[in-house]
Amino acid sequence: MTSYSAFYRQSIEQPDAFWTEEARLVDWYKPFHQVCDYSRPPFAKWFVGGETNLCHNAVDRHAAARPHDAALIYVSTETGHEITYSFAELKAEVMCMAAIMQSLGVGRGDRVLIYMPMIPEAAFAMLACARIGAVHSVVFGGFAPHSLALRIDDAQPMLIVSAEAGIRNGKEIPYKHLLDEAIELSQMPPNRVLMIDRGLHKGWNKVAGRDVDYETLRAEHRYAEVPVTWLESSEPSYILYTSGTTGKPKGVQRDTGGYCVALASSMKRIYCGEAGETMFTTSDIGWVVGHSYIVYGPLIAGMATIMYEGLPINPDPGIWWRLVEKYRVSVMFSSPTAIRVLKKHDPAWLKKSDLSSLKHLFLAGEPLDQPTHEWIMSGLDRPVIDNYWQTETGWPILSSVHGVEKTEIRYGTPAFAVYGYKLKIFREDGTECDANEKGIVGIEPPLPPGCLSTVWGDDERFVRTYFSLFKEPLVYSSFDWGIRDEDGYHYILGRTDDVINVAGHRLGTREIEEAIQSHPAIAEVAVVGVKDEVKGQMPVAFAVVRDAARIATAELCKALEKEVMLAVDATLGAIGRPSRVHFVGGLPKTRSGKMLRRSIQAIAEGRDPGDLSTLDDPNTLANIKALLG
């Protein structure tokens, strides 16, 4: 087997030869004549002149070779629905959706905004856009009207595809009135809205002349044959708005050919998925993980993909593992937050199902702390691999790459720079850090295939946002602090804007959180920097305990807080000690599991916490506010 270091070096030193070989993993209607055009730094065009199509590579080629194999497996523990679509059936549904879109005036280059819960029609809509050359923009279902209106105005979609409601933990989440209000607020409203009626919310209003019924049009176009539209590699495939955007939304624009190659390559090299196997990714299609590794990546690899609507603990904390057993899942992808939720429950749930099919569990979305990494890896007795990447990159920046070499898995680290990424740790003056020296994680361009090609409609913002960290050298900034050890393993310490500067000492929130979680009583923690008149900032911790009895009285709270402080002292020294450790019943997160640290910080500093439309449980933030008075 080739060593990973040699494989990585080839990708950096001989990129044309390297990516020409990786490009063989996908079908090309027309071959490319140039691997990378980097004549206008920092903009890169990959596989120039080549023509391909994401839907063809994800659906058609497998439908031709293995029409009856499972492609899309939909499971909803909220509604009790469970259905499997073969590749042939998936192709038919996608062509039907594509015909519907064309009948509503959508064509190549037009934008389609998808505002949907986790239902099969959402995947059909994404793939249908790819099929006809339209550009989709998926917005997480349940976004507040103002935030949705900003995205509508930026993308200027010809069509919006939506459903009348979602459902979470048995609670109906109406979408239609949010959508109607957003369109009312919008300066660039769409011509048409295609509505899927799930039968969850009765009495929703249909706007005459604008709203059309999916089932009616589905019956009309049920057996439509819609040919693939072949796109030049650099044509956009989708826009995805980064979460937490203030002001004008920042739309990450993805190309077609580079993204297709990056996903095909990552499925083989990183995720070790093979045609005929099943992948289960527990994200939402509204986020980049859902785009890359629920919809496109597994299907491009010829795998079945599970689309799951529900919680990790409903009806019980064993549901995910029963699905692994039932569908013989070989590759699973989740988030550290989800695992920490499971960590609060009896570890016996990890042992009640047959997990013999499972090769790996991958985790991404936020830094994976060592205690959680160790807990899930020992509990599953399977390799658990940390990934580090961003909405902007579309696929991992840091990871073990076991499809090339089975390197040692170390707890709490996403390991090595992924091939194609010329990644370095930089000091603030632009020089490269030494081993074990904290700095900013940056990538020397050109960015590899699959990364954002620009910010939608705003090339200047692309350069200003991502490539203005230093004047020399030109570097893509991840806005994350990190360390690389002497063996080449990387550790992500938190966002540069989440770094706490205490009397001139830089402290990553990750470091303090991990020290606090080393105390056996702590299940989960978030640390934020709060303004301090003397020291600039001081870390403040908000922790969830495993056993509520530990904080049943004020005296017990005070005693546990002291114990936690001592644990931090033992790990980081007194400099890392938080000024306070507040014990709370839950931490505020989005419905995809992302911790809202900036909102916690704003509450702690008496500021407006911002847009909370994606908050999973509003009570968590309200309780913190009440606790702080």
Share of the chain above pLDDT 70, in %: 97
Q: Which of 425, 448, 480 is the last residue of a domain?
A: 480
pLDDT-wise least confident of 169-173, 265-269, 404-408: 169-173
Query: Do residues 313 and 401 both lie within one domain?
Result: yes
The Cα 404–Cα 4 span in angstroms is 6
Tell me, yes or no, whether 493 lies in a domain: no
Q: Which of 297-311, 565-579, 598-612 has maximum average pLDDT? A: 297-311
Q: Is the pLDDT of residue 622 over 50?
A: yes
Range(s) of the domain holding residue 63:
4-480
Q: Is the pLDDT of residue 54 over 80?
A: yes
Query: Do residues 181 and 52 both lie within one domain?
Result: yes
**Which of 64, 116, 110 is closest to 91 using CA atoms?**
64
Q: Is the pLDDT of residue 588 over 70?
A: yes
**The pair of three-digit structure tokens given for residue 483, joined into one six-digit string:** 């360390």
Tell me, yes or no, whether 490 lies in a domain: no
Three-class HEC string of 420-440: CCEEEEECCCCCECCCCCCEE
Alpha helices for 204-318 (secondary structure H) = 214-220, 257-269, 288-290, 297-300
Query: Do residues 252 and 364 both lie within one domain?
Result: yes
Alpha helices for 202-284 (secondary structure H) = 214-220, 257-269
Query: Do residues 427 and 561 both lie within one domain?
Result: no
pLDDT-wise least confident of 63-77, 219-233, 240-254, 478-492: 240-254
State pLDDT tens for residues 320-337.
Answer: 999 999 999 999 999 988
State pLDDT tens for residues 167-200.
Answer: 988 889 889 999 999 999 999 999 999 999 998 8
- What average pLDDT does the structure give for the chain? 93
426 in Cβ contact with 482 (< 8 Å): no
- How far, in Å, are 136, 265, 517 from residue 526 at the CA level? 34, 35, 10
pLDDT band at 367 (very low <50, low <70, confident <90, very high): confident
Average pLDDT over residues 361-387: 93
Tell me, yes or no, whether 595 lies in a domain: yes
CATH for 616: 3.30.300.30
Tell me, yes or no, whether 462 lies in a domain: yes
Average pLDDT over residues 20-29: 98
pLDDT of residue 570: 78
pLDDT band at 100 (very low <50, low <70, confident <90, very high): very high
452 in Cβ contact with 392 (< 8 Å): yes
Query: Do residues 440 and 356 both lie within one domain?
Result: yes
Q: Is the pLDDT of residue 35 over 60?
A: yes
- How far, in Å, are 143, 154, 216, 282 from residue 334 at the CA level? 22, 30, 36, 5
Tell me, yes or no, whether 492 lies in a domain: no
The beta strands (E) that lie in 204-314 are given as: 211-213, 231-232, 238-241, 251-254, 278-281, 304-309
Tell me, yes or no, whether 147 lies in a domain: yes
What pTM, to 2 d.p., does this model score?
Answer: 0.87
Q: Which residue has the higher pLDDT, 599 or 291?
A: 291
pLDDT band at 69 (very low <50, low <70, confident <90, very high): very high
pLDDT band at 628 (very low <50, low <70, confident <90, very high): confident
**The pair of three-digit structure tokens given for residue 629, joined into one six-digit string:** 């008075």
pLDDT band at 245 (very low <50, low <70, confident <90, very high): very low
Tell me, yes or no, whether 340 lies in a domain: yes
Q: Which residues contact 574 (CB under 8 A, 6 or more apart)?
A: none
Query: Do residues 324 and 244 both lie within one domain?
Result: yes
Query: Do residues 530 and 439 both lie within one domain?
Result: no
Query: Do residues 363 and 306 both lie within one domain?
Result: yes
pLDDT of residue 254: 98
Secondary structure class of 222 (helix, strand, coil): coil
Q: Is the pLDDT of residue 293 over 80?
A: yes
Q: Which residues contact 216 (CB under 8 A, 6 or more apart)?
A: none
Secondary structure class of 512 (helix, strand, coil): helix
Q: Which of 480, 512, 542 is the last residue of a domain?
A: 480
Query: Do residues 466 and 521 both lie within one domain?
Result: no
Q: Which of 480, 514, 545 is the last residue of a domain?
A: 480
Alpha helices for 23-166 (secondary structure H) = 54-55, 61-65, 87-103, 120-132, 145-155
pLDDT-wise least confident of 68-82, 89-103, 214-228, 605-619: 605-619
Query: Do residues 474 and 504 both lie within one domain?
Result: no
CATH for 120: 3.40.50.12780
Query: Do residues 449 and 529 both lie within one domain?
Result: no
**The pair of three-digit structure tokens given for residue 78, joined into one six-digit string:** 């909220």
Average pLDDT over residues 115-123: 97
State pLDDT tens for residues 73-96.
Answer: 999 999 999 999 999 999 999 999
Tell me, yes or no, whether 485 lies in a domain: no
Number of domains in the chain: 2
pLDDT of residue 244: 39
Query: Do residues 384 and 282 both lie within one domain?
Result: yes
Q: Is the pLDDT of residue 572 over 80?
A: no
Plot region of 28 (φ>0 → left; ψ -120 to 50 → alpha; else → beta): beta
pLDDT of residue 410: 97
